Amino acid sequence: MSKKAQIKLDSIVKLLNYVLGYRPDEFGLIPDPDGYIPVKELLKAIHEEENYGYVRESHIREILLGPDRFSFECINQRIRSLERRFVTDFTIPCPELPVILYAPIRRRAHAHVMEKGLSAGNHKYLLLTLEKDFAERIGRRTDPEPVLLEIRAHEAGRTGNRFTAFGDLFLTKEIPVRFIAGPPVPKEVIEQHILSEQQKMQKEKSIRRQLGFEAGTFALQSPKDSADKKQRVKGKKVKGWKEEVRGMRRTKR
């Protein structure tokens, strides 16, 4: 390895030590309870740093094979520092909430959020920030032009919404729509949202119809099935061809 390449690698190691071991919150990253962060999310955050846009997963793999490999642990595309200076207990409620926090969302979710509110969904927590610029930076990781929402956090907390703080970030599971303020939803986005909801309903209706769950439908029954059912109710067994042949033999005798 050239001296220049080694200097770059050493610089990445220092950055990883800081991000994974000290302040993941400064980079808009939330580790799991064991301190792991998805490599994909880590790289997105690193690329936002000046002079680190060149970093690739191959650099991380090289570090994990080099002399600094004992500083990190990587399992199933998730990485953590083995020496962490932060606590990942997200059950502790935030004692003091700011009046306003900011949440970034994707443009295609704009109409839905303004109608239904925010929910963590498949993610464990909603991520909120005190600074608008920081929220926009995080939002650009999933949408080049994210929509920024103002969250009346203090009011939401007073009415029962649970928030927890992780460094410079605030986490919660859901935010009702009455505590959310944002830019008006563009007309074309509303139309697309309505069309999407209609298509979703039609798909669900089609599935129910195929499974026989459509309201007002019933399973058809053949005359033979009906006759068999009546005979079973009377306690009689339905005669098959063997029984009919035996009956004919008895008659001949």
Give the Cα separation of 60 and 58 in Å (integer).
5
Q: Model confidence over 129-168: pLDDT tens digits?
A: 999 999 999 999 999 999 999 999 999 999 999 999 999 9
78 alpha carbon, distance to own chain's centre: 16
The per-residue pLDDT for 227 is 55
Map out the domains of the chain as residue ranges: 3-81, 101-181
**Measured distance CA(39)–CA(60) in Å, rounded:** 9
CA–CA distance, 116 with 207 (Å, rounded to integer): 25
User: Does residue 197 surpass a pLDDT of 80?
Assistant: no
What is the pLDDT at residue 252? 53
pLDDT of residue 236 exceeding 70, the answer is no
| Nearest-angstrom CA–CA distance, 63 and 70 | 10
CB 94 within 8 A of CB 135: no
Overall average pLDDT of the 10-27 stretch = 97
Would the pLDDT of 69 be above 60? yes
The fold of the 101-181 domain, in CATH, is ADP-ribosylation fold (3.20.170)
- Kindly state the tokens that stand for 147: 């929509």
**3-81 and 101-181 share one CATH topology?**
no
Tens of pLDDT, residues 45-60:
999 999 999 999 999 9
- Topology classification of domain 3-81: Arc Repressor Mutant, subunit A (1.10.10)
Residue 19 clears pLDDT 60, i.e. is over it:
yes
